[in-house]
Amino acid sequence: MFNYVENKENYIFFGEDRFISNASDLSRNGYSSKEEVPNHLWYTFNLMEIYVNGSVEIIGASFLNPNKQTEIVYIGEYTDGSATIEFRGQHQYFHDWVGEPLLQWEGVLNNGDIINYESTKTLRMGYAHLSTGTDFDTYDKSPSVNKWLARSWIEDGEEELFFLVESREMIDQVASYYSLPVPYDDDLKTILENDLQSIRFKSLMWKTSGVNDEGNWVPIVVAGIVFEDNTATKFRLYKTSRWNE
């Protein structure tokens, strides 16, 4: 699966060996019990591929180990070998109730750079009915986007604004607005037109009218516009694949 991640042989892609979660999975992988699975092996749970200009720029995954039920590992790499990424959680919000309330993680690149994350007021209100935050109105935001979700940034480096993808046509309109190539290839175009929700990052119960609103389940398909020196330089589309789908 990986070419550049350290100890890549310990991370098993579900296309080759599916995550071991029950007796049939154990048998198929040659084990009679979870205890027989080597402690150093991690199995793909969700796979993430980030597309730019029709090609995968970054590939990553969440990994589970049947012997470490409370642990999960998130790692990835740029397919050109320029960097690897390890994602780690930040939980200070739960101790002092300040800071980022939803996106409780950061990406650590192997050169030491940190990818920071901040959710928008729109996401906070829709998901958790929180009135804090902003919608980053100082940025050049495409009017074709209905819900901006978050931003990420590297100090003295690139920034990225993430938005909710609602159709392939929306992607085309956003690409035209920023004069950037669409991120998808022909296969992904077919998915976007016929089975958009299948590549969702996750689904959220989105509330629209208040804390007592039952809300609607919304498949969160994510794309992002990368800015450098306030200029849009790259259009990314995030495709999630699940081991049990």
- Say whether both 97 and 202 belong to one domain: yes
Write out the residue range of the structural domain in which residue 33 sits: 1-89
- Say whether both 13 and 98 belong to one domain: no
In a domain, 60, yes or no: yes
How far apart are the C-alpha atoms of 149 and 135, rounded to whole Å?
8
131-189: per-residue pLDDT in tens? 899 999 999 999 999 999 999 999 999 999 999 999 999 999 999 999 999 999 999 99
Per-residue pLDDT at 71: 86
- Say whether both 143 and 214 belong to one domain: yes
Q: Could you tell me the pLDDT band of residue 94, with boundaries at 50, 70 and 90?
A: very low
In a domain, 227, yes or no: yes
89: pLDDT strictly greater than 70: yes
* Residue 160 and residue 50 in contact, taking contact as beta carbons nearer than 8 Å: no
Per-residue pLDDT at 109: 97
Domain count across the chain:
2
- Say whether both 131 and 235 belong to one domain: yes
In a domain, 24, yes or no: yes
In a domain, 214, yes or no: yes
- Say whether both 161 and 77 belong to one domain: no
17-56: per-residue pLDDT in tens? 555 555 555 555 666 666 777 788 888 889 999 999 999 9
Q: Residue 47 — φ and ψ, nearest 5°?
A: -105, 135
- Say whether both 72 and 161 belong to one domain: no
DSSP character string of 22-63: SHHHHHHTT-SSGGGS-TT-EEEEEEEEEEETTEEEEEEEEE
Per-residue pLDDT at 31: 66
- Say whether both 78 and 133 belong to one domain: no
- Say whether both 145 and 123 belong to one domain: yes
- Say whether both 141 and 226 belong to one domain: yes
Q: Could you tell me the pLDDT band of residue 220, with boundaries at 50, 70 and 90?
A: very high
In a domain, 245, yes or no: no
- Say whether both 181 and 136 belong to one domain: yes
Q: Could you tell me the pLDDT band of residue 222, with boundaries at 50, 70 and 90?
A: very high
- Mean pLDDT, to the nearest integer, of 96-118? 85
In a domain, 195, yes or no: yes
Q: Which residue has the higher pLDDT, 125 or 207?
A: 125
- Say whether both 27 and 61 belong to one domain: yes
- Mean pLDDT, to the nearest integer, of 103-110? 91
Per-residue pLDDT at 21: 56
Share of the chain above pLDDT 70, in %: 83
Last residue of a domain, one of 34, 57, 89: 89
CB neighbour list of residue 242: distance below 8 Å, 6 or more residues apart: 45, 46, 47
